[in-house]
Structure 1
């Protein structure tokens, strides 16, 4: 066992403390401002704690006027449906490309890889016309459909996990009379849980923070949280303590999910690194 020097230990803790301060310091003033009144915000420093920690007027105003509650609900519905569909499609496509040999396999793999080098913005003119002719503009299924697609990052994550699953399991199941779909459902999919969790984390965070796609396809009637927050923040008449409360409302769901799933998150991310 390698013993670390005292200097290295001190440097490690100093670095970790500085990193924590760098992350926490911007959040503390945001929390303070979210609970302050307008007069208190304009007359005190951003680092001064609020006088009343039970002042929830800013949160109620943000939810009522900015319609953030409805926006959070729309975001949750989009995430649950799109991530579920994407997870099923990605595992199926990855299983087929990894385990089977067939004509056109290399072409399909190259096409998936090429999508990494094509900026999303350059394809939106054509994609928007397709979504418009399908009658899905300003409707939630438009964003769900775009988010549900299989991407090369997800395929690579699944490939790393599939490399660790021996093909002998497939062959033994085939000898016992199992179909390929049964092998996928009963053997492959349960063993790919770490990779699935990693994909859910990466894409879930990305979709939750995405502004471009929802803003382009959902317009006014149906909004995700990022779109509602942007329009709420863009109103110059809105006091900043209300904006701070609105931002904090968007951070709370992420914190709650992390507290409940932190073991799975750490396990999946460390498993992805090892793979």
Structure 2
């Protein structure tokens, strides 16, 4: 066996071990989702004695899953769409208007990424409580504020690779500033838009702290509902793991339908 083939075998073995390590949490979640509470405490690695859907039925009911799923989809979808729209326009304006003011504004946005949410959450919730915006609309507005800094920074960086001659050609053809951005520039920003969407979807979909401060129980998202399986004196691991299994199904379905756009966007961004 030559050295090249031996190195390939070693790489394949290491890759397999890493894959098994990465998949181990999913194995533990799926296996224990079918167990009773007693079986989980007896051993988490073994297979269940009998497959039953009782945990999933109870978790589906306790989570009020359809309502929680709707709330998560509404908050995540609306927040990401608004962040992409506002951040791309802001990044375009800052990149095309070279002045001390635009440079200062970009510095403000970049500096805002350094502010931890925990330092402003109490004043923020108090302020929004006074104007009665502690609801889903208020939450979406907060996500816009917290998510725009990084997104504007990414869009501004992407704009540096797009020639200003495209703007000039569009203006000569009679397009105004908004038409130039929407029909000429924004389609060219698809790779960075996919990146911004992925980063913000992962953050907003899984966020617990901010919704816990803003939303009422009727508007709770899936991460908030999952908390109800863990009380002060008891933890219903069998229901929690079944609930987690149900909760990842929409994510898998969403990725299945959007994987072409995600892969194309990331690939185009890598080539650029």
Q: Considering the TM-score relative to the shorter chain, is it more than 0.5?
A: yes
- Residue 142 of structure 2: aligned partner: 146
Q: Given the superposition, is the C-alpha separation of residues 26 and 103 from structure 1 closer, same or farther in structure 2, using an over 3 Å criterion?
A: closer
- Residue 109 of structure 2: aligned partner: 112
Contact 2:28 2:44 in 1 (8 A): no
Shift of 1:24: 1.0
- The TM-score, its normalising length taken from structure 1, stands at 0.88
- The TM-score, its normalising length taken from structure 2, stands at 0.89
Residues 86-124 of structure 1: CA deviation (Å, up to 9, x unaligned): 111011001001112345212211111111221111112
Q: Which of 200, 206, 214 does residue 209 from structure 1 map onto? A: 206
Structure 2, unaligned runs of 5 or more: none
1:161 aligns with 2:158: yes
Q: Given the superposition, is the C-alpha separation of residues 45 and 166 from structure 1 closer, same or farther in structure 2, using an over 3 Å criterion?
A: closer
Contact 2:29 2:241 in 1 (8 A): yes
- Residue 11 of structure 1: aligned partner: 10
**Cα distance in 2, alignment partners of residues 88 and 234 from structure 1:** 40
**Cα distance in 2, alignment partners of residues 74 and 245 from structure 1:** 20
Contact 1:157 1:272 in 2 (8 A): no
For these two proteins, the number of residue pairs brought into alignment is 269
**Cα distance in 1, alignment partners of residues 39 and 121 from structure 2:** 45
- Residue 256 of structure 2: aligned partner: 259
Residues 24-49 of structure 1: CA deviation (Å, up to 9, x unaligned): 12211211222234565566663214
- Residue 53 of structure 2: aligned partner: 56
Contact 2:106 2:153 in 1 (8 A): no
What SS is found at the alignment partner of 1:151? helix
What value does the CA root-mean-square deviation take over the aligned residues? 2.2
User: What does 1:1-275 correspond to in 2, within 5 Å?
Assistant: 5-38=4-37, 41=40, 46-49=45-48, 51-52=50-51, 55-102=52-99, 104-137=101-134, 139-149=135-145, 151-234=148-231, 236-237=233-234, 239-275=236-272
Q: Given the superposition, is the C-alpha separation of residues 45 and 125 from structure 1 closer, same or farther in structure 2, using an over 3 Å criterion?
A: closer
**Cα distance in 2, alignment partners of residues 45 and 72 from structure 1:** 28
Q: Given the superposition, is the C-alpha separation of residues 47 and 135 from structure 1 closer, same or farther in structure 2, using an over 3 Å criterion?
A: same
Contact 1:33 1:50 in 2 (8 A): no
Residues 157-197 of structure 1: CA deviation (Å, up to 9, x unaligned): 22343233221111111111110111011101111111111
Residues 177-230 of structure 1: CA deviation (Å, up to 9, x unaligned): 110111011101111111111111110011111111001111433211111102
